[in-house]
A and B are shown apart, each in its own frame.
Chain A
Amino acid sequence: MRTRLEQSWEEGSGLYAWLTSTSHKSIAKRYIVTALAFFVLGGIEAAVMRVQLSRPENHFVGPDLYNQIFTVHGTTMMFLFAVPVMEAIGLYMVPIMIGTRNVAFPRLNALGYWMYLIGGVLLYVAFFANTGPDAGWFAYVPLAGPAYSPGKRIDIWAQMITFTEIAGLIGAVEIITTVFKQRAPGMSLNRIPLFVWSEVIMSFMIIFALPAIVVASGALAADRLVDTHFFNPAEGGDALLWQHLFWFFGHPEVYIILIPALGMISSIVTTFTRRSIFGYPAMVLSLISTAFLGFSLWVHHMFATPLPQLGQSLFTAASAAIAIPTGIQIFCWLATIWSGRPRYTTAFMFVIGFVLLFVLGGLSGVMISSIPYDLQVHDTFFVVAHFHYVLIGGAVFPLWGAFYYWFPKMTGRLLSERAGKWNFWLFFTGVNLTFFPMHFLGLMGMPRRVYTYLPEMGWGNLNLVSTIGAVVIAASVIVFIGNVVVSLRGGIAAGDDPWGASTLEWATPSPVPIYNHLFIPIVNGREPLWTNPPGELPVVTGLRTDRHEGLITSLMDAEPEHRYEFKQPTILPLILALAGGGSIIVAIFTPWGVTIGAALTLLILFCWFWPTISPDHDTLRQRPRETR
């Protein structure tokens, strides 16, 4: 059985196999490695900024380069690191955790990665050619418009958005469809692991938030390239329209990043306290409320604009309210720990770090939901402190915990716990050293996005402390990379289930075979590996091994419905990405890119959708039950 599965799923090695792969793990691994590479690049940009700001009137970099650097830093971290990595961990782990063999649309998944890669490369090629965008990651108009940002810098930014948003939307479609229709029999909605819930909820947020930035960046590109007037006040356009469109996406974006991290925390807490998370329904509902509320906050980025006060006040209330579901999550985790026995693995340490950092950031967030207070600290380093605490504390720390937790599953080897503790403490110390002083700097009058400041402002000392903190963070990242490199070769062998965990991914060998589970498991509780007799699992038999076959189950109760064929490896996703991506890039320089590109794209889509003929194609004889 195993050999038959291996033979039919085997993709081979070599460049062509790599380029044509439709394995969700292979694609997700690429996403993760690429996202981490962007994280390092973004970190280097941060380091340069910190060096420049460490002393007043410093001359490490001049204004033009500094402005590109802070723009590319924000753009990289938000678009090229945070969302892709959160989706990628999902694309890797979710199919295994729900007991299926691949995501619903394997070729589409591959397309998503290539689009993401092309977009990121586009940005960095431009940046290294001194044509990097320089109007901030938020690209406010009219500064980012045709009149005040001549040249191609912002066009490149706007088109890069197109790539990353397509990839993001593709990932969301994959996750939702896969979780809705491919769960192991018996995994009803109330038995889905909380991490899987968080990925689904994140994906729905992506579905509704990303169209806003697609429209916004499209309108910006149009204003710049073909003279539309969306943001031109002289012809009825509006600079504030950009802000509404951008932040309608931008605020949900941070919850898109946060919510999967909250799911990771649940997985880690369950395993390392050996307790099922307390209050499962409350946990799911609070994730869903956070997602909904996340769409109602965007104006809090616009308190200094001339919007009516009464309207703005509603956003104060909503921005404060969103702390409630997150609070519920934290209380439930605390309850879980209380009645379990914590094991202080590195992953669990990152959970503790998460609580300490994220709650602090959340509280500074509640502070700035207050309009009068915000009007003093908006666009100052206080806000920089706030969002780094919630993003690093709330998303990066859980992510690092997830790395330590799932690395053995992905690679078959454990990361060094000793190096892990160094990683954690350096990171935790560094984050506090870097960002805590910034709360004061903001109140002391230091605005954001300034490449230098005068000595008499008195900001020099705190900035220096902050830069030292950045060095400590860099050290922790180096420790992490070293840990990964060394453990990949010589780490302790992990086995199927080194942690004694409860969810399905630990029921299969490490590293995970290409077909995930030998037999599709059947589930009878939330923690299947704890509720079945140890070492025993009921499974599904009867799926074909001569083609890539999986099981489709019903939405609510995961009852088996029919069999499903996953698409096999093909070069089409790469070709479509190159053609479609190429035309998007060419469109920066000439409108013909759109027409020629559209034609080329359609041609490739034609090949893509040309229905494939199965080897045994007279399945017409086999009529399905008419399922309604």
Chain B
Amino acid sequence: MQCESAVRNSVIALAIALNACSGIQSALDPKGPKAAGVLHLTWFLVGTATVVYVVVVAMLFYVLRRGSRSSVDLDHELGTEIIEHDRGMKTWVVAGTVLTTIILIGFVFVDLSTARSLSTVGGAEPLRIDVVGHQWWWEVKYPDPDPQNDIETANEIHVPVGRAVLIKMKSGDVIHSFWAPNLDGKKDLIPGHETVTWFRADTIGVYRGQCAEFCGYEHAKMAFYVVAEPRIEFERWLAQQRAEASTPGDSLAQDGERVFLSSSCAMCHSIAGTGAGSNNGPDLTHLASRRTIAAGTLPNNAANLEAWILAPQTIKPGAKMPANRIDPGSLRALVAYLQGLK
């Protein structure tokens, strides 16, 4: 529709001016059919709402002007009778009401059909992923018919481009909400319930998501990344994740492994193939393959790892990970070990 694209174009111009349109966490930059469907709906809603608003405001200024120029001598007139019998006025009000109703019915109709078209899981056999929300990180599992092949990771989801992904979600503590706006609307994770959502990424890229239901202290720093990659790379990633932890390459990393296993780290974190099997905190088996640490808070590199391990409370106050008293040498070894866990 011409009006729609006119609105859309002006909003886009404005958005570009505000640097809004492209974004790794933006509903205005869809990378999959669900977000795209919602964006179409958005333009329709914004367009119609703008037209309605302009009409109402125009009516307001029209009546204000008309009233100001009224030649009626009001000081000597009684207020009631004239309006009671004004048929013309009644027609306008009724017409306005009917028009409003029609527009709203149209809205609801478009809403419901959009919802219906987005609800069927698109495509063949979807990829299954399980997500468990925790304060303040995302536990991600790829279940497999053969449990040996189950994958566990944290805060990062890899998906093959063009294939539907079905996510079953639970919460380990309070209500969270899974939201990657480039791909889809959000769905809550509610303790005591299992919730389900699906999406499909149609463009290669990395998209950011964030918890969208207030879940305590560090709700603001509970992000995750969705990496949409070609099928071959995805299969490669799957295979890599299925493997046990890489053995430490050099002596520094070996020291690091010892530090890990002998300190409190192993009380919360698991590394497949070692003795550490706790799942209070994220699984670290393939930590080095992830782009960020602390649920999207910091890029994953040596310096950030050192800072995080030493004093997580200064980066993410309230996080469940305590500060660790560890001497610089051991810290360097530990980080070297962790960076080898590809």
Contacts and interface: CB of A to CB of B under 8 A. Distances in A.
Q: Do chains A and B touch in the complex (CB under 8 A)?
A: yes
Interface of A: 62-64, 67, 135-136, 140, 142-143, 147-148, 233-234, 237-240, 270, 273-276, 278-279, 282, 304-306, 309, 313, 316-317, 320-321, 323-324, 327-328, 330-332, 334-342, 352, 355-356, 359-360, 363-364, 366-367, 369-380, 440, 443-445, 447-453, 457-458, 461-462, 502, 525-527, 530-531
Interface string B82-116: 11001001101100110011001001101110110
Contacts of A338: 63, 66-67, 89
Contacts of B212: 304, 378-380, 447-448
Interface string B183-206: 011111011111110000000000
Contacts of A366: 45, 49, 104, 107
B259 interface: no
Contact of A331 (B93, B115, B217): B93
A148 B23 CA distance: 34
Contacts, number: 273
Contacts of A352: 60, 64
Given A334-B60, A375-B38, A273 B67 contact: yes
B56 to A, nearest CB: 5
Contact of A304 (B114, B186, B215): B186
B74 A323 contact: no
B18 interface: yes
A32 B78 CA distance: 34
Max chain B CB contacts within 10 Å: which of A147, A450, A453? Answer: A450
Nearest to A449: B214
A339 B181 contact: no
Interface of B: 15, 18-20, 23, 25-28, 35, 37-38, 41-42, 45-46, 49, 52-53, 56-57, 59-60, 63-64, 66-68, 70, 72, 74, 77-80, 82-83, 86, 89-90, 92-93, 96-97, 100-101, 104, 107-108, 110-112, 114-115, 118-119, 135, 173-175, 177, 179, 181, 184-188, 190-196, 208, 210-221, 317-318
Contact of A372 (B59, B70, B79, B111): B111
Contacts of B101: 324
Nearest to B169: A306
Nearest to A233: B192
A306 B190 contact: yes
B210 to A, nearest CB: 6
A257 B155 CA distance: 42
B188 A305 contact: yes
A372 B104 contact: no
A340 B175 contact: no
Nearest to B181: A445
A458 B186 contact: no
Nearest to B39: A376
Given A63-B217, A316-B112, A370 B57 contact: no
Contacts of A140: 174-175, 213-214
Given A370-B115, A372-B185, A375-B185, 9 more contacts: A135-B216, A306-B187, A306-B195, A338-B63, A338-B66, A372-B115, A376-B38, A376-B186, A445-B181
A341 B216 contact: no
Nearest to B106: A320
Contacts of B191: 142, 233, 239
Nearest to A304: B188
Contacts of A63: 217-218, 220, 317-318
A68 to B, nearest CB: 11
B209 to A, nearest CB: 9
A443 B104 contact: no
Contacts of B318: 63-64
30 contacts: A142-B191, A148-B173, A233-B193, A240-B190, A276-B80, A282-B93, A304-B212, A305-B190, A306-B196, A323-B100, A331-B93, A331-B96, A334-B60, A335-B92, A338-B89, A339-B72, A341-B67, A356-B57, A366-B107, A369-B111, A372-B114, A373-B41, A378-B212, A380-B212, A447-B211, A449-B214, A449-B219, A450-B219, A452-B220, A527-B80
